[in-house]
Each structure stands twice: as C-alpha cells, then as structure tokens.
Chain A
Amino acid sequence: MAELLYYPILILLLILQMTIGRNIQLVGGAVDLILLWLVCWGLHRQGKNVWYGALFAGLILTFASAVPWYVSFLSYFFAAGMSRYFSKRFWHNPLIALFIVTFVSSLFGILLQYAVLAFLNGNMGWGVSLTHVIIPSVFMNLILALPVYAIVHDMSRWMYPAEVEA
C-alpha cells in the first residue's frame, strides 16, 4: 500500500525532467530521472512491484514524449527486470549493482531510442549521436545514480520500518 506513493513521485520526476532536467544538459545529453528511480526502486529489497512502476512510467512517457510508445515501455521494463535480477544476486553489495544496472539500462534505453528514431527518420548521424547524446546521457545517469539511490533508500526505510523482534 505504501508503494502507492511511488506513482505520484514518478509524475513529479517526469515534470522535473521536462522543466529542469532537459535544461541541464551535458553536451546534448540529459539525465533520465524516471529510469534512475525505477533502477533504485528495483534494487531495493521491497522493490517487487517495480514492474507496475515501469508500466506506469511507460504510460506517462507515452503521453509526454514524442518518442514512439514502445521505446519507453521496453527500456523501463528492461531496467526493472535487470534491477530485480541484480537485487537477488548482489544484495550484499548494492552499490556495484546500482552502477552496473544504471550503466547497462541507460545504454540500452538510449541506444534503443537511437535505433528506432534512426529507422523512422533516417537523419540521425551515428557519430554525432554517440558523442553528442548517447555518451553524455549515460554519464549523467551514472553521476546522479547515487543521490537518487540515497533518496529511494531513505524513503523505503521510512515506508518499511524494520520490524523489532520481541
């Protein structure tokens, strides 16, 4: 029930990304706050419902972005799946898992966007896209992964307080 709080936060993150996130650019790249949130949520022990978050994030992105709808769904489901997979295997060292999942899912998402847009538009230079958008975007996601993880971690501790054994 407490996870219902994650959904308005996803909407808030989308608004932040459209207003502030896209104006703070590294070359031509921008951070994907929603993807970072899903990754951190999925890596958490209580993050079993991250799949619903990915579905919701895909829906709101479809509404807000001009990118084809299936790109958002695929990249967010990929991030959710990978974070859940790593949360079970790297539970003792979540920071390594965080950076691996952030790097791979960011790269997957941005490459998928590039591939689809290049296929549909045909006017997307690979070299320029790589240096101008893809690498800076992944780099920005890696930079902001740790602060977002700290926020999600604190929030989850507040939402799921540790049970005291009698």
Chain B
Amino acid sequence: MKKISPRFWIILAIVIGAVGLIVFSLSGYLSLIIGKAASPFISVESWISTRYVAFRDFLTVPRDVNTLRQQNAALENEVSQLESQVLELQQQLSETQILYALLDYARTAPENKYVAASVIGKDPSPFMSYIIIDHGSDDGILYGMPVVTQQGLVGKVVAVTATAARVQLITDANSVVNITLSDAGVSGQVGGSVTGDLALEMVSASAEVLEGDIILTSGLGGSYPSDIVVGQILSHSKSENDLYYSAIVQPAVDFTSLDAVLIITNFKPVDITPLTTDNG
C-alpha cells in the first residue's frame, strides 16, 4: 500500500478548515468574530480615507471657488449690462412715446411744418422762464418761430445759435399771448408771471366767461398762428365796476416735465413793433 504523503494531510486539513470556515461564515456563526477582527482595519481605513478626502478637497476645492468667483463676476457684469440696457430701452421707449405723441399732433395740423427738438436746459436765472433746445439755425430754426407740444402752446424762439435755441415760455413774466375764448368767442390776452402762473387779461367784462373755457391763440399780433390751445380757465372773478375779467388760467402744457417740443418752421412771425412805436 502506497504511503500517503504528509503533505496530502496538510492540504486536506487546510481544505477542510477552509470549507469549514466558509460553511460557518455562510451560516453566520463567524460574523461576530469577523466583525471584531475587522474593526481595527475598518477604523484605520476610515481614518486614512477621511484624511485623503480632506487633502483632495484642499487641492481641488480652491480651484473651484476661484472658478465660481470668476463665473459670479462675469454674471454680475452681465446683469449690470442688462440693467443698463433695460434703462436705455426704457428711456428710448419714453422718448418714442413722446415723439409719437408729437407726431400725432403734427398729423392733426398737416399744413404746418415741424422740427422736433429736445429740451436740454433752462435759463440759469430763477426769474426767467426760458428753455434751451438742441436745434438751431442749422436745422432751419429762426427767431420768432412758435414752439408747441401735443398738449398746446409752449412759447416762441427768442435767440438762435447754429446748434441751439432759446425759447421764451408763455409763463415768462414778459410773455403776452393774444387769445380767443373758444366758447365765448371774445378776444383777450394771456400773460405770464414770476410764479409761472398764467393770467387772463383784457377780456371785456361784458363777455360771458365760464370756468373750464378753452383758450386758443387768436393769431392777432402775428406772433403765433391761430387756434393753438393755450389752456383753460381755472377760476375767474369780476367786480361790478371792473372793465375786464381777471382769471387764473391752467396751462395746457405741463411745463415741469417738458422733454421735447415741436417748432413750427413754416410760420413767419410778423414784427409789428414799427407800427406800435411813436415815430412822430
């Protein structure tokens, strides 16, 4: 009989031991022992893993922060550009609305020729109700031309340079506009004042004047074309012995927010000064 090698017994013992371990492990009898034996290794692995992740983050996250910062700056820049574009578009919209309103007005009186201009300033003196517009003689603006908006009469050009002009408002203390009351059909004058209010003058006390009457330019005197709205009567008073009405006039134009105006370029004002001065 052939002698069995001791190596065989060793291998057999190892196999039986291994199979036994597998059987015990699968049946759950070894889990407690394995858990106890693996615990230090797991702790070490966990410790190394935590340190590794921290080290990796240390190396990689700052780069991400820088990238995010750059992206944030780029986005903020884009937002500010868009905000400025929105503001610009809003301003353009506002200007377009004003120009459309002026265009509508111009269409209602096609016999007139208009030049649109922006208001760029006011007279430095608080006593003077004048505005400066951005069109001058290069654009065909001449002394004395009437200035209007879609709301009504603004004033007239009193000084011109090549690229700008000065307009005397009808609210100026030195301004007088010959008018007619549309309902009463009587003529008179509207004068400005230091406070910027308009006052009705030279309307006969015998006329029938009512609050809310619309005041139009009469065309008398040759300074303004006829039938441009000046305003309406806000309140009036007349005592028994007065020869003329005194009335407060609400201007048709809002002079506090005057941004754009129309200059009537085909109206030629008549200078009647030589006829009114005493030459004799």
Interface status of A155 (Cβ within 8 A of chain B): no
Return B255 CB to nearest CB of chain A, in Å. Answer: 12
B124–A64 touching, CB < 8 Å: yes
A residues adjacent to B (C-beta < 8 A): 14-15, 17-19, 21-23, 25, 28-30, 32, 34, 61, 64-67, 110, 113-114, 117, 120-121, 123-125, 128-129, 132-133, 137
Contact of A65 among B124, B168, B173 (CB under 8 A): B124
3 closest A-B pairs by CB: A18-B121, A22-B122, A30-B126
Complex Cα gap A23–B132 (Å): 13
**Could you say which residues of chain B place their CB within 8 Å of the CB of A128?**
193-195
A66–B126 touching, CB < 8 Å: no
**Could you say which residues of chain B place their CB within 8 Å of the CB of A64?**
123-124, 132
B194–A18 touching, CB < 8 Å: no
Complex Cα gap A25–B158 (Å): 24
Return A11 CB to nearest CB of chain B, in Å. Answer: 12
Return A111 CB to nearest CB of chain B, in Å. Answer: 11
Complex Cα gap A30–B6 (Å): 120
In the complex with contacts A18-B132, A19-B120, A61-B124, A66-B158 CB distance below 8 A: yes
**Could you say which residues of chain A place their CB within 8 Å of the CB of B196?**
28
Interface status of B253 (Cβ within 8 A of chain A): no
Contact of A133 among B121, B191, B192, B194 (CB under 8 A): B194
Complex Cα gap A117–B194 (Å): 11
Of A17, A32, A66, A117, chain B has the most CB atoms within 10 Å of the CB of: A66
In the complex with contacts A19-B121, A121-B173, A66-B128 CB distance below 8 A: yes
Contact of B127 among A14, A15, A18, A117 (CB under 8 A): A117
Contact of B123 among A18, A114, A133 (CB under 8 A): A18
B174–A123 touching, CB < 8 Å: yes
In the complex with contacts A132-B194, A133-B194, A124-B127 CB distance below 8 A: yes
**Could you say which residues of chain A place their CB within 8 Å of the CB of B191?**
123
Of B127, B128, B192, chain A has the most CB atoms within 10 Å of the CB of: B127
Contact of B126 among A14, A34, A121, A133 (CB under 8 A): A133
Q: Which residue of A lies closest to B192 (CB)?
A: A123
Of B126, B166, B196, chain A has the most CB atoms within 10 Å of the CB of: B126
Complex Cα gap A117–B168 (Å): 15
B122–A23 touching, CB < 8 Å: yes
Return B196 CB to nearest CB of chain A, in Å. Answer: 7
A32–B124 touching, CB < 8 Å: yes
B174–A25 touching, CB < 8 Å: no
